[in-house]
Amino acid sequence: MNLQTNLLNWFQKNQRPLPWRKAYRPYEVWVSEIMLQQTQVETVLPYFKRWMEALPTIESLAQADEKKVLKLWEGLGYYSRARNLHESAKFIVDKFDGQFPDDFEDIFSLKGIGRYSAGAIASIAFNQEQPIVDGNVFRVLSRIYAIKKSIDDPKNREIFWRLQKSLIPKGEARHFNQALMELGALICTKENPKCLICPVQKFCKAFKEGNVENYPVRSARKKMVKIQATALVLGKNGKYFIHKRPLGKIMGGLWEFPEWKLSRDRKFSASQIQQKTLKHIQDDFDMKIEDLKNLGTIKRNYTHHNESLHVFYAKFDDRDLHHKNDWPSAWANKSDFKKYPFSSAHSKIAALVSTL
């Protein structure tokens, strides 16, 4: 038996019963692949279920308003992906009569679809012999073949794409591509790989060399940057001020409490943070606030950044509120928060408001 046969037999017996595998509906495969980008399967499952209950077809997604789409995506991050799904659904309805395209180039042309996603959708939904290389596949192939080239160097990645395509057995693209990813997720894991029960152990050069955990090879990691930031919960008569980030900005289309960046790789004392927050409030709202209540600190991480977001509460009187930006804004009560799509961090702020 060869590597492919061993892997396919293992996958048939051990694959996880994921909802998009029940019928391999192209729409479900597409949504799952976008949700799974840089996100664990266990995290995606409840989001996928909620999404399909609310938007079961491409037509229903195309007809939904953006606020609903972003609210369904809330907590997954990378909100441009939700907007791309929404825009692509409208395009599919307009150009393909609501039928997800089965041509690889048409799939690749959809907004937010890259080489990996196009290959995953084409192979999983339509069983086309298109290669896929994600983090799991990089790890599995680099170990099996003891590839000593850094996967962080773009010119080296083509080695993996060519190799993966050459391995796909005829007529088995759907199962083989998923089997490779499943092996990386369940057996050939980043830490503590389960080599002794691996179905392709006898083909693995890294296992024979006894240095599995040295693969994949990576360049030196970038240093993490520490960020200090502050956010304001401004309350008036049981309602709280929020505004909507404009499209084109990071987190565009999402609602948030006002926030400001304070420092990069510099630590401030609690009193300094409070003073800087008061200064931002005065500058941006043209008003003086004497008393701030500390609601807590929220940690959030994004590419090469560790951020501490310090959250403060202040009461506001009945004067008109003036803000120097012209973003859409609203005064929302606690029960209204569920109607607005927030980022994960600002959802946590909304939860803190419930303690007031």
pLDDT tens by residue, 269-300: 888 898 899 899 888 888 878 789 999 999 98
Average pLDDT for 157-180: 97
pLDDT at 210 over 70: yes
Task: With beta carbons less than 8 A apart as the criterion, state whether 341 and 71 touch.
Answer: yes
How many Å apart are CA 343 and CA 95, to the nearest integer? 32
| Cβ-based neighbours of 322, under 8 Å, separated by 6 or more | 285, 286, 287
Mean pLDDT of the chain: 92
The pLDDT assigned to 170 comes to 96
Contacts 24+ apart (CB under 8 A), 67-70: 67/339, 67/340, 67/341, 70/253, 70/254, 70/341
Average pLDDT for 202-228: 91
How many Å apart are CA 192 and CA 266, to the nearest integer? 36
Active-site annotation holder among 28, 33, 256, 259: 33
Q: In this structure, which amino acid lies at residue 350?
A: A
What's the pTM? 0.82
The pLDDT assigned to 303 comes to 74
Q: Which domains does the chain have, with CATH numbers?
A: 3-214 (1.10.340.30), 225-353 (3.90.79.10)
The pLDDT assigned to 253 comes to 87
Average pLDDT for 187-195: 96
Average pLDDT for 166-184: 97
How many Å apart are CA 134 and CA 180, to the nearest integer? 10
Average pLDDT for 46-63: 98
Average pLDDT for 222-248: 90
The pLDDT assigned to 81 comes to 94
pLDDT at 201 over 70: yes
The pLDDT assigned to 266 comes to 81
pLDDT at 316 over 90: no
pLDDT at 318 over 70: no
Average pLDDT for 62-81: 93
In terms of Cα–Cα distance, which of 82, 28, 79 is closest to 57? Answer: 28
- DSSP H or E segment with residue 154: helix 154-167
Name the most confidently modeled range: 124-128, 211-215, 253-257: 124-128
Active site (annotated) includes residue 53: no
